Amino acid sequence: KRHLISAADLTRDDAVLILDTAEEMARVADRPIKKLPTLRGRTVVNLFFEDSTRTRISFEAAAKRLSADVINFSAKGSSVSKGESLKDTALTLEAMGADAVVIRHHASGAPYRLANSGWIDGAVVNAGDGTHEHPTQALLDAFTMRRRLVGRDAGLGRDLEGRRITVVGDVLHSRVARSNVLLLNTLGAEVTLVAPPTLVPIGVENWPCQVSYSLDEVLPKSNAVMMLRVQRERMNAAFFPTEREYSRRYGLDGDRMARMPEHAIVMHPGPMNRGMEITAEVADSDRCTAVEQVANGVSIRMAVLYLLLGGNEPAVSPAHSRTE
Ligand code: CP
């Protein structure tokens, strides 16, 4: 496949191949020499029209660990501020020889437009578009769940068949929720969305998941509970209960976490609103995988770049797979 725009683009085999390749990449990251030569001579452009900490840095780290050249472009401080269009920005990047463009944009559909425009020849990776999708976040979340709930060794299980995943909060504005529902369904998991009625998207009945309005009912049956950030910046005040009311009904605190099965994990894509959707007690507990998710994001993004750009060498050559 040439691009990664939506989690729906991935078959079960595609998704498992990315997860397995990321597992190989993670083994490299555990070694003293973390770098592979596989994308030497290739150029990856990080094209960010919207703020990011985790996604931008981890794509940069991933490309550098594969020995690619990296160009970081942030709309703030660029000629986009002077009114330059996506097309002219893309043509400029094409002139610089981008082999892959990793794009985050406030407009849903911008990565699709870039991939199908003919403006650039390189692979396009969606790093989050508006309220639409964030496929590499869903992949790193699935990778984290597979490691924690299934096991990391071949033979223990290659996907998430039958696992019960609960996604909680501001689903309406969440590209993470949509990509997770699509990918987790492909991997055989059962997803339940829990949200206030005003933060459930229209058309959710067509999503491959259940919807509940009661967090307390769903928690005891969950293998993983993914808390979403409340996106006040995308929200009209009319959509939102008071912060106190939201936390009381949909926030995860220590008492609620105690209702989860002992093995179950708490996830958060970050950035977190501590005290709103998640208390500091839960965020800092051993059961919360938020920091682990960030580390896993580098392995997933290495796998995606490697598979899209078709590195010249095996991802991990025998020389690199040897125990250092
Ligand atoms: N999870 C996530 O996409 O974080 P950033 O916005 O910091 O990239």
**Does a structural domain hold residue 180?**
yes
The Å distance, Cα 155 to ligand 1 centre, comes to 32
Domain identity same for 28 and 116: yes
pLDDT of residue 154: 52
Q: Report the distance separating Cα 307 and Cα 22, nearest Å.
A: 10
**Does a structural domain hold residue 257?**
yes
Overall domain count for the chain: 2
- Flag residues of the chain having pLDDT under 70: 1, 152-158, 236-241, 311-324
Residue 269 Cα: closest atom of ligand 1: 1
Residues with C-beta less than 6 Å from any ligand 1 atom: 52-55, 128, 137, 269-271
Domain identity same for 243 and 313: no
Distance set, CA 12 to CA 158, 224, 286, 319 (Å) = 10, 20, 30, 30
The pair of three-digit structure tokens given for residue 41, joined into one six-digit string? 């001579």
**Does a structural domain hold residue 43?**
yes
Residue given tokens 């578009």 in the structure block: 129
Q: Report the distance separating Cα 190 and Cα 35, nearest Å.
A: 37
Domain identity same for 169 and 40: no
CA end-to-end distance (rounded Å), the chain? 33
pLDDT of residue 233: 76
The Å distance, Cα 82 to ligand 1 centre, comes to 26
Question: Which residue segment(s) compose the domain that 115 sits in?
Answer: 7-132+294-321
Domain identity same for 142 and 232: yes
Q: Whose Cα sits closest to atom 4 in ligand 1?
A: 54
CATH number at residue 127: 3.40.50.1370
Domain identity same for 141 and 222: yes
Summarised one tens digit per residue, pLDDT across range 18-27 is 999 999 999 9
Domain identity same for 287 and 229: yes
Domain identity same for 283 and 317: no
pLDDT of residue 152: 64
Inter-residue contact 299 to 25 (CB < 8 Å): yes
Domain identity same for 33 and 168: no
Inter-residue contact 189 to 248 (CB < 8 Å): no
pLDDT of residue 76: 84
Q: Report the distance separating Cα 251 and Cα 215, nearest Å.
A: 9
**Does a structural domain hold residue 107?**
yes
pTM of model > 0.80: yes
Domain identity same for 188 and 258: yes
Q: Report the distance separating Cα 165 and Cα 189, nearest Å.
A: 7
Domain identity same for 166 and 311: no
Q: Report the distance separating Cα 165 and Cα 160, nearest Å.
A: 10
